[in-house]
Amino acid sequence: MGPVSEIHRNLLADAAPETRLPVDPAVAELAERGKDAFEEVIRAHPESSLCWALLAEGALNARTPGADVAAYAYARTGYHRGLDALRRAGWKGSGPIPWEHEPNRGFLRALWALTVAAQRIGDTAEFERCAQFLRDSSETAYAELSSSRPLEA
């Protein structure tokens, strides 16, 4: 029998299986058609959390108050489209959403963009909720996204 932390981790893993989203067709289309066709791809795939996350990240990169508000709206859309997809994939409202599974990254990126945008516009409760949700979903995603796309305003 291993240390208590190993037993605890295994019990949690058994209680809530990992959720793995299906492949997002927008990813292949974006790769094939390039950024000049980005708006067309979004229109063709409004269900794609990745597309909304990319819009949110672009707005966050502008670093203006108006762009931060737009990023919040884009990220919230990607987040909600992702929740819909997670539920269709069997997610019951909690449990791991592994970063290592590539199709999950659109949702996780939208969740991080919402975290950053909420912090920037002063929505502290949403910032804290989203940051914790990301940590609970995937520590790897939290570590990766918080280091590559930090919170600074």
Record the pTM. Answer: 0.88
Q: What is the DSSP letter of 16?
A: S
Nearest-angstrom CA–CA distance, 119 and 146 = 13
Sign of the CA dihedral 120, 151, 46, 140?
A: negative
Sign of the CA dihedral 150, 103, 21, 99?
A: negative
Low-confidence spans in the chain with pLDDT less than 70:
1-15, 152-153
Which pLDDT tens digit goes with each residue over 5-41? 444 444 454 568 999 999 999 999 999 998 899 999 9
Comparing CA positions, the residue from 77, 18, 73 lying closest to residue 45 is 77
Residue 82 — φ and ψ, nearest 5°? -65, -40
